[in-house]
Each structure stands twice: as C-alpha cells, then as structure tokens.
Amino acid sequence: MARLFLATLLGIIISLAASPAVGDELPEAGDEADQLEEGEVSEEVVDDFGAAHRQRIYETSRLDRRRAVLYSLALPGLGNFYAEQPAVGAVAMMSLVFSAMFIAFGLRNNQSGLVRLGAATGAATYGGSAAIGYLGVRRYNDRLRRSLHVDERAATPTATSSSWTIGWQWEF
C-alpha cells in the first residue's frame, strides 16, 4: 500500500515537473523597431510602441495570481489553464479523477488504506495545482514585461498590492 502511494505521488510530481511550458514564446513588441537600422526610427513605431502604450498593454494583458490560485482551489487545473499551462492543468484534473476513484473504490470495498491514499493524492493535487498556477502566472507576467520592455518598477504597482500574513507573507 505504501509503495503504491509513493509511486503515485512520485508519478504526479515528475509529470508536473517535466511537463513542457506551453506558450514560452511571446511575441516581441519591438520586432519592427529591431528590424530598422539603429539610426532610423520610424515615427509609426515610436507612436505605437511608446513607453506609455507598452505599459497600458502590459496592464491589460497581465494575469492575476490570486485568480489563478482561486481557480485552482475551486477545481485543480483551472488555475493552470488560466496561466496558459494546459498540459499541467490536464495532469492536475486527471490526478483529481484518479484520487476520487481511489476514494470511491476504498469506500465501496471497506479499505481505509485506499481512502487515505486518495485523500492524500487529492490534497497534493490541490496544493500542487495552486502553487504551480501561481508560479505560472508570475512567469507569464515576467515574460510579458520583458517582451514589452516595460520597466520593472513601473510594472509592479505598489498602491494596489496587498499582502496576507499567515506565518509567511504572500505578496499579491
């Protein structure tokens, strides 16, 4: 029983860690400007991709980490789909179904070991999905900020950030 639990948990961890990051390539905002020679700067490119315009694009396109965590807590995998990690989201949903099957089979056949295994797998799925969704949104926002060449200090508003302190401090 313990081997089955460890093998299941190890399989979930490996599949979540080894899944490819989908959407790694974000379009570069300055591609048109990069194609021009250094001395030439098109008025059209400057107007379309000025610092204020890129900042507005970043503010409207970035994802919210709290939303990813809440989606993952509602149903594991939803936060990963929100963070544009469909492979991780699919694995999390399959893991939740797998743990529900363990619980159902254990309850039906009066095997408490399978019920505990299913509960532990489900708890690991919820926690892992929320954590990976949070980190995925963070990675997405960093890539977006870098691709738009937005200043990091201007990209992280301090007036709207909030923090929760429960032993650790989480900045959102």
Per the structure block, which two tokens stand in for 169? 């401090």
Alpha helices (H) along 75-163: 78-82, 86-108, 112-147, 152-155
Asked whether the predicted pLDDT for residue 130 surpasses 70, the reply is: yes
| pTM, rounded to two decimals | 0.60
Q: How far is CA 99 from CA 94, 144, 159, in A?
A: 9, 35, 42
Q: What is the distance between the alpha carbons of residues 62 and 42, in angstroms, rounded to a whole number?
A: 27
Band the pLDDT of 170: cuts 50, 70, 90.
Answer: low
Q: What is the distance between the alpha carbons of residues 1 and 16, in angstroms, rounded to a whole number?
A: 23
pLDDT in tens, 42-98: 444 445 667 888 888 888 889 999 999 999 999 999 999 999 999 999 999 999 999
